Amino acid sequence: MKAVRIYETGSPEVLKIENLELPEPAAGEVRIRHTAIGLNFQDIYTRSGQYAAPLPTGLGTEAVGVVEGLGAGVTDFKVGDRVCYASGPVLAACATHRNYPAARLLHAPAHMQDEQIAASLLKGMTVEYLMQRCYPVKKGQFVLMHAAAGGVGLLAGQWGKHLGAHMIGVAAGPEKVKLALANGYDHCLDRLKDDIPARVKEITGGAGVPVVFDSVGKNSFEQSLNSLAPRGFFVSFGTTTGAPPPMPASTLQKMGSLYFTRPTLVTYTASTEDLRNSAAAVFDLFAKGVLKININQRYALADVAKAHADLESGRTSGSSVIIP
């Protein structure tokens, strides 16, 4: 098998593709031959050192494939099944094959192609937990979403429209603004030229928004705070430009009794029940035509360094997949 490994953190140049021997699946594990691999900012965070991982390590938490072997005690899957996953516990999705715990594995839905699932499962479950459980979005509410033209952002626009929310996106440049507007957003602001808080107040009649979903981090932190209505929720779920600065609790009080949370998909899908329910919600909305995935970049496994560089630099839009 071929697998991506890193022995040190740093730029995309630290990524190495190695030939490895894959052991037989242990009890409770399934051997998978990957057909499509998702690319996510989690991979960037791990490679760059923002997320700690013991070295050396593989990369990747999301993939689709076919079962080729079963460990002892596995009864929910059989050889030949199409399967998918979007969680740890071990980072090893960026490879041609792997062994994976059956308890965290999902049956791939028949109505979705492999690339569609690899490009959307982790991102879709992220939107599900953000908008259905972390802050349940209600019909008629204004919602501000940063990185609206990214993989999570585009699905969030569609999901929010389905819920009846008034979606306000933030993207970089006219092309990405146009893409967001075609995917459920009622408004999309251009961060390269717009005063985000001022435009948000204009759109909301001076009230501000009850919730901000921010995956950008450092560069959008002040914009998010200043766009919120009193008692608003600041949901910081990513750090693509670095971690937000430390904030005294008194700031939340002074700006209108605000709430701040830093959730993760890992926590919201920690139990098997939560994982399966979240995935089922995503698959259901794809089946109903509510969600559509924009796969705007495809890379061979050999080009994984370019994939990382493109995603990290903001040259991508929508979702990316790696084909092993």
d(CA 86, CA 97): 15
Burial class (CB in 10 A: 0-12, 13-18, 19+), 72: exposed
Cβ atoms of 7 and 46 within 8 Å: the answer is: no
At which residue do the structure tokens 């998918």 appear?
A: 84
- What is the mean predicted confidence (pLDDT) over 311-317? 92
Reported pTM: 0.95
pLDDT tens, residue by residue, 36-88: 999 999 999 999 999 899 999 999 999 999 999 999 999 999 999 999 999 98
> Whose CA is closest to 292, among 321, 315, 322, 319?
319
Q: Where in the chain are the domains? A: 2-119+268-323, 139-262
pLDDT at 298: 97
d(CA 9, CA 15): 9
CB-based contacts of 230: which residues, under 8 Å, 6+ apart?
208, 256, 257, 258
pLDDT at 90: 85
Domain 2-119+268-323 superfamily per CATH: Medium-chain alcohol dehydrogenases, catalytic domain (3.90.180.10)
Beta strands of the chain (E only): which ranges?
2-6, 16-19, 29-38, 57-58, 63-70, 82-85, 97-101, 106-107, 142-145, 166-171, 187-190, 209-214, 228-236, 259-261, 295-300, 319-323
Q: Identify the three-state secondary structure at position 245.
A: coil
d(CA 121, CA 151): 10
Two structure tokens written together for 179: 């893409």
Phi, psi torsion values for 308, nearest 5 degrees: -65, -45
Q: Counting every residue, how long is the chain?
A: 324
Give me the helices (H) in 34-128, please. 41-48, 114-128
DSSP letters, 209-231, are EEEEEE-S-GGGHHHHHHHEEEE
d(CA 45, CA 280): 27
User: Could you tell me which CATH number the domain at 139-262 has?
Assistant: 3.40.50.720
pLDDT tens, residue by residue, 247-297: 999 999 999 999 999 999 999 999 999 999 999 999 999 999 999 999 999
